[in-house]
Homo-oligomer: A and B are copies of this chain.
Amino acid sequence: MSKLVIVGTVAFDAIETPFGKTDKILGGAATYIGLAASQFNVDGAIVSVVGGDFPEDYITMLEHKGMDVSGLQIVSEGKTFFWSGKYHNDMNTRDTLVTELNVLADFNPNVPSEYRDAEVVMLGNLHPMVQLSVIEQMDDAKMIVLDTMNFWMDNALEDLMKVIKKIDVITINDEEARQLSGEYSLVNAARKIMEMGPDYVVIKKGEHGALLFHEDEMFFAPALPLAEVFDPTGAGDTFAGGFSGYLAKTEDYSFKNMKNAIIFGSALASFCVEKFGTERMLSLQKKEVHKRLQQFKSLTQFDIELT
């Protein structure tokens, strides 16, 4: 079975949307990435840290989903990373209410020795130095995928640039791509970012879909238009998990296969937002994914005869 190393937060989230409010529930980038990747029956390992307050049930659940948790450190005297946010009515913007780093403040990632030969590495959003440390522990990675955000561009740009030099794919949103490149046009932004290191640039536009750039090629995957979005939390991580999980499963890094990875990422993300937190991803069945991929096909495929 193909191996996939997943680095990122495992966390508590408290979320408020126009549809309701949650107490501290399971969250974190690595959690969402792992749940999405579990759809592909890959041998995924979560490299992260939690506190003594983190329920064992959650860890058991991740194991049941096929995730190796030997790289999930438990700091029994510490507290788990906590994030709280409130979404505005448009569901596209949110305010962060609370960020408590807790055990994440002193996190030193340790990739289990059996996973250091994994081909695909998914670096979820975290401090660039943590991401760099993971890269340095990998023996033979062929496809390192980086997710990051404007916070690190504002506060740790030099470190972030070191990471960007060493990766193969970067996934960021449109505003972040503009910030990182200084270019307004996403086509020009992607070109500049490719010069910084990665061969592939994925620009996430939320409800407006995602763009994949590679050399002079472009591919676009729409987001599935939904009647209701209940909670966008984790959608970007789920996208990353679907993308990297599919690559790990297929071990095919051609542009053609990257297109499929983007579509899988988009399809899985479209489920994530249907319920609060991880709820929808926990119950998700293969049959449902299959059906949604069909919807993506009929949403985008056309057949013009060019005469």
A182–B200 alpha-carbon span in the complex (Å): 40
* Main SS class of interface, A: mixed
A184–B227 alpha-carbon span in the complex (Å): 9
1/0 per residue, CB under 8 A from B, across A238-278: the answer is: 00000000000000000010011001100000000000000
Answer whether residue A161 sits at the interface, using C-beta atoms and an 8 A cutoff: no
Q: How far is the CB of A210 from chain B (nearest CB, A)?
A: 11
Q: Residue on B with the closest CB to A185? A: B227
Answer whether residue A293 sits at the interface, using C-beta atoms and an 8 A cutoff: yes
The reply to whether B188 and A227 contact each other, CB–CB distance below 8 Å, is yes
A151–B134 alpha-carbon span in the complex (Å): 56
Answer whether residue A142 sits at the interface, using C-beta atoms and an 8 A cutoff: no
A270-307 with Cβ < 8 A to chain B: 290, 293-294, 297-304, 306
A90–B174 alpha-carbon span in the complex (Å): 13
Q: Which of A29-37, A70-78, A121-129, A218-226 contacts B (4 or more CB under 8 A)?
A: A218-226
Instruction: Check A90/B184 contact, CB under 8 A, given A294-B306, A301-B301.
Output: yes
Choose among B188, B208, B229, B259 the residue that contacts A302 (Cβ–Cβ < 8 A): B259
Instruction: Check A217/B260 contact, CB under 8 A, given A185-B226, A211-B225, A226-B187.
Output: no
Answer whether residue A186 sits at the interface, using C-beta atoms and an 8 A cutoff: yes
Can you report 15 residue pairs joining A to B where beta carbons are below 8 Å apart? A185-B225, A185-B226, A185-B229, A186-B225, A187-B227, A208-B209, A217-B298, A218-B299, A219-B300, A219-B302, A220-B299, A222-B222, A290-B306, A300-B301, A301-B301
Answer whether residue A228 sits at the interface, using C-beta atoms and an 8 A cutoff: yes
Q: Residue on B with the closest CB to A301? A: B301
Answer whether residue A205 sits at the interface, using C-beta atoms and an 8 A cutoff: yes
4 tightest A-B CB contacts, nearest first:
A208-B208, A259-B302, A187-B227, A220-B222
Q: Residue on B with the closest CB to A222? A: B220
A299–B208 alpha-carbon span in the complex (Å): 15
Residues of B within 8 A of A263 (CB): 302, 304
Residues of B within 8 A of A303 (CB): 256, 260
Choose among B187, B209, B219, B306 the residue that contacts A293 (Cβ–Cβ < 8 A): B306
Choose among B184, B220, B264 the residue that contacts A225 (Cβ–Cβ < 8 A): B220
Name 18 extra pairs, CB < 8 A, besides A185-B228, A188-B227, A222-B222. A185-B226, A186-B225, A187-B227, A208-B208, A209-B222, A211-B225, A218-B225, A219-B298, A219-B300, A219-B302, A220-B300, A260-B303, A263-B302, A263-B304, A293-B306, A297-B304, A300-B301, A300-B302
